[in-house]
Structure 1
Amino acid sequence: MPPTLVVELSFKGQSVVFSSDVFQIQLDLSGPEAAEPLSACSALWLSLPFAMKLGRDLHIKGTIDPIALDNAQRISRIWPIWHPGFFHPIDITADRVETPAVPAMRQGTLMLFSGGLDSSHALCHEFLSKGLKVDALTIHGMDYRRWDTARFEALMTKTAPLRAQAINRHYFIASNAAQQMQHHGIPASVGHGFHLFGCLFLFERHYQHGAIAADSPVPIDYVMPWGTNAYINSHYQSQTFHIQTLCNDIDRPAKTRALAAEPSALKSLTFCKQYELRPENCGRCEKCLRTKAGFDFELGFIPPIYLDNSYDFQDILGLNMRSQESRLPILDLMMSAHRNGRMAEYLELAQALRKYDTILSPPARGRWKKRFNRLRKQARHYLAAVRINRLRKRRQIPMQGEQDRTVH
Structure 2
Amino acid sequence: MDLVLNFEQRRRGNDTRRLVKLSLPGLPDWVAKEGIYFDIVGAVRVPEPLVLDGFLFCFLQFAMERAKRFVIKGPVSARALRNARIYQEAWHKWLPEKYRPVDIVVEKIVPEWRFAFRRRGRAISAFSGGVDATFTALRHAHRATGSGAHNLDAVLMVHGFDVLIENDDGFDKLVQRTAPLLSELGLELNIIRTNARVGYLQNWEETFGAHAACALHQFSHRYDYGLLGSSEPYSHMVNARGSTPSTDYLLSGDDLEIVHEGAGFSRTEKVALISGHPVARKTVKVCWEGKEQHTNCGECEKCIRTRLNFIAVGDRNPPCFDNNFQSDSIKGINVRSKIILTELETIAEYMAARGINADWVSELHAKIAEGRSLFP
- TM bin, normalised by shorter chain, reads 0.7 to 0.9
Paired amino acid for 1:203: F
User: Residue 63 of structure 2 aligns with which residue?
Assistant: 51
User: Residue 278 of structure 1 aligns with which residue?
Assistant: 293
Q: Is the 8 A contact 1:110 1:137 kept in 2?
A: yes
User: Residue 251 of structure 1 aligns with which residue?
Assistant: 266
**Aligned partners of 1:71, 1:35: CA distance in 2, in Å?**
25
User: Residue 92 of structure 2 aligns with which residue?
Assistant: 80
CA 1:253–1:360 in 2, change beyond 3 Å: closer, same or farther?
closer
Q: Does 1:206 align with 2:222?
A: yes
User: Residue 124 of structure 2 aligns with which residue?
Assistant: 110
User: Residue 302 of structure 1 aligns with which residue?
Assistant: 317
What's the TM-score, normalizing by structure 2? Answer: 0.86
CA 1:206–1:140 in 2, change beyond 3 Å: closer, same or farther?
same
Q: Does 1:15 align with 2:30?
A: no
User: Residue 157 of structure 2 aligns with which residue?
Assistant: 138
CA 1:6–1:117 in 2, change beyond 3 Å: closer, same or farther?
same
Paired amino acid for 1:7: L
**What is the root-mean-square deviation of aligned Cα atoms in Å?**
2.5
Tell me by how many angstroms 1:311 deviates.
2.1
Q: Does 1:25 align with 2:39?
A: no
CA 1:116–1:322 in 2, change beyond 3 Å: closer, same or farther?
closer
Q: Is the 8 A contact 1:297 1:340 kept in 2?
A: no
Give matches, 1:342-381, under 5 Å: 342-343=356-357, 349-350=364-365, 352-354=367-369
> Where in structure 1 are there 5+ consecutive unaligned residues?
362-408
Q: Is the 8 A contact 2:131 2:284 kept in 1?
A: yes
**Aligned partners of 1:355, 1:286: CA distance in 2, in Å?**
15
Q: Is the 8 A contact 1:298 1:340 kept in 2?
A: no
Match of 1:189 among 205, 213, 224: 205
Counterpart of 2:46 in 1: which secondary structure?
coil
**Aligned partners of 2:336, 2:72: CA distance in 1, in Å?**
41
Tell me by how many angstroms 1:329 deviates.
1.6
CA 1:27–1:259 in 2, change beyond 3 Å: closer, same or farther?
same
User: Residue 65 of structure 1 aligns with which residue?
Assistant: 77
**Aligned partners of 1:359, 1:262: CA distance in 2, in Å?**
37
CA 1:68–1:224 in 2, change beyond 3 Å: closer, same or farther?
closer
**CA deviation string 1:147-188 (max 9, x = no partner):** 2111100001111110112243322110011115x1x3x222
**CA deviation string 1:213-247 (max 9, x = no partner):** 111211222x3442011011111122332111221
Give percent identity, aligned residues only.
24
What's the TM-score, normalizing by structure 1? Answer: 0.80
CA 1:203–1:323 in 2, change beyond 3 Å: closer, same or farther?
closer
CA 1:250–1:286 in 2, change beyond 3 Å: closer, same or farther?
same
Paired amino acid for 2:351: A
Q: Is the 8 A contact 1:44 1:60 kept in 2?
A: yes
Higher relative helix content: 1
Match of 2:334 among 315, 320, 339: 320
**Aligned partners of 2:54, 2:195: CA distance in 1, in Å?**
15
**Aligned partners of 1:280, 1:170: CA distance in 2, in Å?**
19
Kindly name which structure, 1 or 2, has the bigger radius of gyration based on alpha carbons. 1
CA 1:266–1:53 in 2, change beyond 3 Å: closer, same or farther?
same
**Aligned partners of 1:355, 1:285: CA distance in 2, in Å?**
18
Tell me by how many angstroms 1:349 deviates.
4.2
Tell me by how many angstroms 1:105 deviates.
5.5
Q: Is the 8 A contact 2:287 2:302 kept in 1?
A: yes
Counterpart of 1:196 in 2: which secondary structure?
helix
> Where in structure 2 are there 5+ consecutive unaligned residues?
none
Counterpart of 2:313 in 1: which secondary structure?
helix
CA 1:356–1:306 in 2, change beyond 3 Å: closer, same or farther?
closer
User: Residue 217 of structure 1 aligns with which residue?
Assistant: 233
**Aligned partners of 1:300, 1:205: CA distance in 2, in Å?**
41
Q: Does 1:334 align with 2:348?
A: yes
Counterpart of 2:98 in 1: which secondary structure?
coil
CA 1:68–1:357 in 2, change beyond 3 Å: closer, same or farther?
same
**CA deviation string 1:313-340 (max 9, x = no partner):** x432442225323312212212122133
Q: Does 1:239 align with 2:239?
A: no
